[in-house]
């Protein structure tokens, strides 16, 4: 655990999430009716249960109806896409969430492409991801948007900041890098082929880590006073069979050097859920403007 004297350096994701959810609640209070968020889980996937529970709780707090749907693990790709297309045409459905992971025979990218961009509250349709290149980030990927939000919580202006993004996944690394550039930051993206990650990270004002390796970032890789955003979620099992969730950052050591650090859990995770809810509000506004709903 990080010592109490340095707790002020930890960014409380729960507080940030509550602020976003409350803003969404103000909007929903002004609406007569709101469509529901539909969460689709394909097969029995224990890893998704926590995510679904948190999403349902966030939706309830914001005043949004939430429905969980479980499809058989053997569902055919074409059948899954057909159902999603039916949901696209259903005015009572505000947004569609496709839980990951999915069975091996399911092409998750194809399913995400089937979700209409105006119902893509996860920001994972290729059109939604493409929009961020043109600085249209209203329905951006949730984790990437959560990362930007947490950096802004420090009070630092992103314009001109040196940011190192460690990890270049389609879900987090790449969209986060593009969104940071849209905010005026100078971004370096490191990945498994980067020769010396530490050489880059030591000069960064902000480091975002999303590599899925427990404790990857240590204090020697961080410039004093830097912002460190830990996107990693790793399960560590002890000899006695117990387990704990840790990030990609050696939090205790890095907190001695960095100016701000997001803890795991309690950092990026809660804000990602809140961004999902905020995306749902944006989707409602855009569906109204498009004449989809009254």
For residue 52, what is the domain's CATH number? 3.40.50.10860
Whether residues 100 and 170 fall in one domain? no
- Gap between the Cα atoms of 232 and 238, Å rounded: 19
pLDDT digits (tens, 9 = 90+) for 117-170: 999 999 999 999 999 999 899 999 999 999 999 999 999 999 999 999 999 999
| 111 close to 98: Cβ distance less than 8 angstroms | yes
Structural domain that includes position 209:
139-269
* Residue 14 located in a structural domain: no
Identify whether residues 158 and 248 lie together within a single domain: yes
Q: What is the pLDDT of residues 38-50, one digit of tens each?
A: 999 999 988 889 8
Strands (E), 28-78: 36-42, 66-71
Answer whether residue 288 is part of any domain.
Answer: no
pLDDT, one tens digit per residue, over 194-246 is 999 999 999 999 999 999 999 999 999 999 999 999 999 998 888 888 889 99
Count of structural domains within the chain: 2
The CATH number of whichever domain residue 224 belongs to comes to 3.40.50.720
pTM: 0.94
Instruction: Tell whether 71 and 175 lie within a shared domain.
Output: no
95-114: b (≥16 Cβ within 10 Å) or e: bbbbbbebeeebebeebbbb
């Amino acid at each position: 655990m990080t010592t109490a004297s340095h707790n002020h350096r930890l960014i409380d994701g729960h507080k940030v999430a509550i602020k976003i959810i409350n803003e969404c609640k103000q909007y929903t209070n002004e609406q007569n009716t709101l469509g529901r968020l539909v969460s689709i889980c394909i097969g029995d996937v224990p890893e998704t249960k926590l995510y679904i529970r948190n999403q349902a709780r966030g939706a309830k707090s914001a005043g949004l109806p939430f429905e969980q749907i479980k499809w058989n693990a053997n569902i055919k790709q074409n059948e899954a896409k057909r159902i999603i297309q039916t949901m696209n045409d259903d005015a009572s459905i505000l947004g569609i969430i496709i839980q990951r992971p999915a069975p091996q025979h399911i092409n998750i990218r194809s399913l995400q492409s089937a979700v209409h961009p105006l119902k893509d509250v996860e920001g994972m349709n290729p059109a939604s991801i493409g929009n961020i290149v043109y600085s249209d980030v209203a329905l951006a990927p949730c984790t990437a948007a959560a990362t930007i939000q947490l950096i802004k919580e420090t009070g630092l202006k992103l314009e001109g900041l040196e940011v190192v993004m460690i990890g270049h996944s389609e879900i987090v690394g790449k969209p986060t890098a593009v969104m940071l550039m849209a905010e005026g930051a100078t971004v370096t993206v490191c990945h498994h082929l980067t020769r010396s990650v530490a050489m880059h990270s030591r000069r960064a004002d902000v480091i975002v880590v999303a590599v899925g390796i427990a404790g990857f970032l240590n204090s020697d890789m961080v410039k004093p006073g830097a912002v460190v955003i830990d996107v990693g979620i790793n399960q560590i099992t002890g000899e006695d069979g117990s387990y704990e969730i840790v990030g990609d950052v050696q939090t205790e050591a890095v907190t001695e050097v960095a100016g701000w650090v997001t803890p795991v859990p309690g950092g990026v995770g809660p804000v990602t859920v809140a961004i999902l809810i905020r995306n749902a509000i944006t989707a409602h506004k855009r569906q109204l403007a498009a004449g989809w709903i009254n």
